[in-house]
Chains A and B, each alone.
Chain A
Amino acid sequence: MTSKTLPDLVPDAALTLPRQAERKLPNGLTVIAIRRESVPLVEVRLRIPFGRAPLAPATLLSQALFTGTGTMSMLDIAAELQAVGGSLAAGLDPDRLQISGNALADGLARTLEILAGVLTGATYPGEEVVTERERLVDNIQVALSQPAHLARVALLKRMYSTHPYAVQTPAPEEVHAVEPEALRELHADRVRPGGAILVLVGDIDPEQAIDVAEKTLGGWTGEARDGGVPPTPALQPGPLLLVDRPGSVQSSLRMALPALTRTDPDYAALTLANLVFGGYFSSRWVENIREDKGYTYGSHSVVEHFVAGSALLAAADVATEVTGPSLLETTYELGRIASLPPGEEELEQARRYALGTLRLGMSTQAGLAGLASVYAGFGLRLDHLREHSAALAAATREQVAEVAARHLAPSRAVTVVLGDAEKIEAQLSALTVVERSAQ
């Protein structure tokens, strides 16, 4: 057997940010345009503040936004976008209505014209809205049969209690009751340019792209209603919540732990602590419950940011017969990261991963557009990448240990397990206090 040495890494060059421009239009819309000419496309991201919007109508609005305007049918909108290689779709999260898509770069003006037509003139025609409504009901029905969705629903409820973030998917019967008129009212009330942010990334001249946006979207006007959401409550650890899913051949283990916002001085250290614990494949948690014990196909932890607060979420789907042992190992790994500083080499490895993936994320138009849009939603710009990179590079073992003790201790966790309760309750009760979910 030959013995070969691992080649050294060539150090990264300094982080360079792409050419960009920004302008706040008179109607209150902020436009950020970024040049990356790698392919002749343009990516479009529009975020409109939508916090505290009534859930069922807002969800349906996001699905029915492109069903027609005063001058274009649903078919016209789709065909005209397609003609410039374009596509646009809307989605909803607890803070925003988001419209995303892309087009051939030469089709930017046409794409924005069509978008403007929808923003200022969506009519929510009755027939089309009813079709979209029933499709949405069916889609929610399907979601309700998916373990990952059900586990998330239970976890959010447990984390947020009465806060608006507690319920993020409407019930099928609530959607079923929404009439087209409610969408027209909600659109008039909330689909407004004030506080909205449009990000354009691609083979474009940033200043010219903003001129195009100003020309096409300048007629979108109206006062924005305050979409602010109150800060999220502190997590209340309590008994493990067991959600019964009879016949389930796996258990979905979910945990929430406290986290920090992107701009908190300790956030970089928390990012690294999370990576060492369970945030990437080479983490302790994955190496333990997958690569050593074979309990799961995958486990993952991530800091999830919403405007009103951040949380660290951990998820693993494990074999039913080892549900208890999986919880044991998870608790062990949380206890270990919260009690002992990480090793020097494993911290360096996590740090290089964090810094490297930031660069990988910037290397495509879609990656840049997503990042710029998400950052903008938190009042940040791309240059935050430099600050965050510097903080990641500087965080010490002591800082990582300190922040892990505060945030990753198993005693801080809110825990939900979805699975076949008959088969897993005893396993879980051997380790912690278990409360069955009320069905």
Chain B
Amino acid sequence: MASRIQIPATKYPVERFTLANGLRVVLSPDRSAPVVGVAVVYDVGIRSEPEGRTGFAHLFEHLMFQGSENLEKLAHFRHVQGAGGSFNGSTHLDYTDYFEVLPAGALERALFLEADRMRGPRLTEENLRNQVDVVKEEIRVNVLNRPYGGFPWLKLPPVMFRTFPNAHDGYGSFEDLESATVEDAQGFFDRYYACGNAVLSVAGDFDVAEATAMIERHFGDVPARPAPALPDFAEPDLDGERRESYVDRIAPLPAVAAGYRVPDPIGAFDAYLPFSVLAEVLTDGDASRLVERLVQRDRSVTNVGGYLGFMGDEYQVRNPTALLLQAHMPPGGDAGKVLDTIDEELDRLAADGLKPGELERTQARMATRLLHGTDEVLGRALPMAVLELQRGRPELLNELPKLISEVTAEQIVAAAATLRPERRATVEVKPGAGA
């Protein structure tokens, strides 16, 4: 085994301030390439949408692109792309983000666009109906018309959780989407899209003083509105194994996913972090425990993955969340047997501990992936915005490689010992396409 490699860290500078209207701002300058990333995140996501309005947070994300106070429909897209940039947005369990990456000279334009829709999107009947249609096609292309659509992120939560915020379908039912009204949208905006409920972050090639002046200029007059009270979505841990299955009409082969509750990612970060490393010990690459056992030795699965957070956003999610393991199987595969083997491997890890070098090499690979992510301006702007929003600690992004490298073998073993069958929720995909 090679001698232990030094885990490097990043030193991206972080400047934070809050405007008079309550908008929090994070700046991370880096002059090494002439590009900027701009992100605005709002502290509202799938878990906050009201009953009878499944999919609304995501539908609303679409409406934020449909024009605003000073911008016609289509103008946002044209102004970003006409400046040489790209844009997108995404809806998560606990936040909704909007972002652009552009040549550095387009920074002020991006700030103007984001400020304009923070003051007020154009919520019209025509735009709403158009985007309901677009979202239905999005659900068809990503879920209904595709094998394993929504597996496991839409399929496991209803098995694992009992409360509407945690358990419901974040893409939404067609019925709920179709019955959404402009009044619902206005109410959602008024409640959640307050500047006091948002963080703006900018990473990349800019001068801090100039960018600060631009931000004051464009966001300074957004009317002050406070954030709504942060809900608590906590619910009790499982008190017995829960197993469900469903037939996927077009899937040719079986699959299974299992989730185990993990400590509060924010309130108990020290206890949470070892689970992040454990997921990689179990599934990162051919030398990991479950790949070696299930794929190579037993051939009982064709691939297996493990991660924290239903959307893979492990450091950008609030409590409650889970460690997920998911596996696809060969024809005739037996999910029960796969789960039993996982239990056996977890027992072995808990009883015998890690092998020499196993933890270090996993940490080295995790560091590479973190660094790779932060090489993009949006790979800094987006997570820093969410880390500010949820923890007031955007600089945590720089600290993660070191914190991961400090996780000990004892912590991994202790974490593995908590992944018991009686605390597990699983969902099985039964192939409907006649494998």
Judge whether B81 and A249 touch: CB under 8 Å: no
**Cα–Cα distance between A359 and B367 once the two chains are bound (Å):** 26
Nearest-neighbor residue (CB-CB) of B143 within chain A: A249
Question: Majority SS of interface residues in chain A?
Answer: mixed
Pick the residue among A107, A144, A317, A352 that contacts B252 (CB under 8 A): A144
Judge whether B357 and A79 touch: CB under 8 Å: yes
Known A82-B362, A104-B8, A145-B250; contact A360-B287, beta-carbon cutoff 8 A: no
Chain A residues 79 to 120 lying within 8 A of chain B, measured CB to CB, are 79-87, 102-104, 106-107, 110
Complex contacts, B253 vs chain A, CB 8 Å: 138, 141-142
Taking the complex as formed, is B191 at the interface, i.e. its CB lies under 8 A from any CB of chain A? no
Complex contacts, A36 vs chain B, CB 8 Å: 32
Taking the complex as formed, is B406 at the interface, i.e. its CB lies under 8 A from any CB of chain A? no
Judge whether B146 and A147 touch: CB under 8 Å: yes
Known A78-B286, A138-B302; contact A104-B433, beta-carbon cutoff 8 A: no
Taking the complex as formed, is A438 at the interface, i.e. its CB lies under 8 A from any CB of chain B? no
Pick the residue among B74, B87, B132, B367 that contacts A287 (CB under 8 A): B74
CB distance from B339 to the nearest CB of A (A): 19
Interface size class of A (residues with CB under 8 A): 35 or more
Judge whether B145 and A360 touch: CB under 8 Å: no
Known A10-B105, A83-B2, A359-B84; contact A38-B137, beta-carbon cutoff 8 A: no
**Cα–Cα distance between A220 and B227 once the two chains are bound (Å):** 62
Taking the complex as formed, is A1 at the interface, i.e. its CB lies under 8 A from any CB of chain B? yes
Judge whether B105 and A9 touch: CB under 8 Å: yes
Of B8, B146, B302, B375, the most chain A CB neighbours within 10 A belong to B375
Taking the complex as formed, is B83 at the interface, i.e. its CB lies under 8 A from any CB of chain A? yes
CB distance from B310 to the nearest CB of A (A): 21
Judge whether A82 and B77 touch: CB under 8 Å: no
Taking the complex as formed, is A348 at the interface, i.e. its CB lies under 8 A from any CB of chain B? yes
Complex contacts, B286 vs chain A, CB 8 Å: 66, 74-75, 77-78
Known A10-B105, A40-B8, A359-B35; contact A318-B137, beta-carbon cutoff 8 A: yes
Judge whether B376 and A146 touch: CB under 8 Å: no
CB distance from B411 to the nearest CB of A (A): 19
Judge whether A364 and B375 touch: CB under 8 Å: yes
CB distance from B100 to the nearest CB of A (A): 11
Judge whether A41 and B371 touch: CB under 8 Å: yes
Pick the residue among B34, B81, B146 that contacts A282 (CB under 8 A): B81
Taking the complex as formed, is B124 at the interface, i.e. its CB lies under 8 A from any CB of chain A? no
CB distance from A120 to the nearest CB of B (A): 20
**Cα–Cα distance between A103 and B367 once the two chains are bound (Å):** 10
Judge whether A131 and B82 touch: CB under 8 Å: no
Judge whether A83 and B330 touch: CB under 8 Å: no
Taking the complex as formed, is A236 at the interface, i.e. its CB lies under 8 A from any CB of chain B? no
Complex contacts, A74 vs chain B, CB 8 Å: 286, 296
**Cα–Cα distance between A352 and B30 once the two chains are bound (Å):** 23
Judge whether B35 and A360 touch: CB under 8 Å: yes
**Cα–Cα distance between A44 and B402 once the two chains are bound (Å):** 25
CB distance from A2 to the nearest CB of B (A): 7
Complex contacts, A250 vs chain B, CB 8 Å: 137, 140-141, 144-145
CB distance from A142 to the nearest CB of B (A): 6
Stretch binding the partner chain, chosen from B52-60, B89-97, B106-114, B381-389: B106-114
Judge whether B109 and A139 touch: CB under 8 Å: no
CB distance from A140 to the nearest CB of B (A): 10
**Cα–Cα distance between A40 and B134 once the two chains are bound (Å):** 41
Judge whether A12 and B361 touch: CB under 8 Å: no
Judge whether A4 and B70 touch: CB under 8 Å: yes
Pick the residue among B33, B285, B372 that contacts A102 (CB under 8 A): B372
Judge whether B360 and A83 touch: CB under 8 Å: yes
Pick the residue among B106, B357, B375 that contacts A9 (CB under 8 A): B106
Complex contacts, A294 vs chain B, CB 8 Å: 129-134, 137
Known A41-B375, A131-B299, A250-B145; contact A87-B365, beta-carbon cutoff 8 A: yes
Judge whether A134 and B330 touch: CB under 8 Å: yes
Complex contacts, B10 vs chain A, CB 8 Å: 39
Pick the residue among A10, A110, A247, A319 that contacts B249 (CB under 8 A): A247
Nearest-neighbor residue (CB-CB) of A202 within chain B: B375
Taking the complex as formed, is B5 at the interface, i.e. its CB lies under 8 A from any CB of chain A? yes
Taking the complex as formed, is A274 at the interface, i.e. its CB lies under 8 A from any CB of chain B? no
Known A128-B296, A294-B134, A363-B33; contact A353-B116, beta-carbon cutoff 8 A: no
Nearest-neighbor residue (CB-CB) of A10 within chain B: B105
Judge whether A84 and B103 touch: CB under 8 Å: no
Taking the complex as formed, is B335 at the interface, i.e. its CB lies under 8 A from any CB of chain A? no
**Cα–Cα distance between A85 and B360 once the two chains are bound (Å):** 10
Complex contacts, B249 vs chain A, CB 8 Å: 247
Judge whether A291 and B285 touch: CB under 8 Å: no
**Cα–Cα distance between A38 and B303 once the two chains are bound (Å):** 33
Contact indicator per residue, chain A 56-86, by CB within 8 Å of chain B (1) or not (0): 0000000000100000001101111111111
Nearest-neighbor residue (CB-CB) of B30 within chain A: A38
Taking the complex as formed, is B1 at the interface, i.e. its CB lies under 8 A from any CB of chain A? yes
Complex contacts, A355 vs chain B, CB 8 Å: 84
Besides the known contacts A10-B104, A362-B33, A366-B375, 10 further A-B residue pairs in the complex with CB atoms under 8 A apart: A2-B69, A4-B116, A12-B84, A82-B365, A84-B5, A102-B372, A281-B87, A319-B137, A352-B84, A365-B375
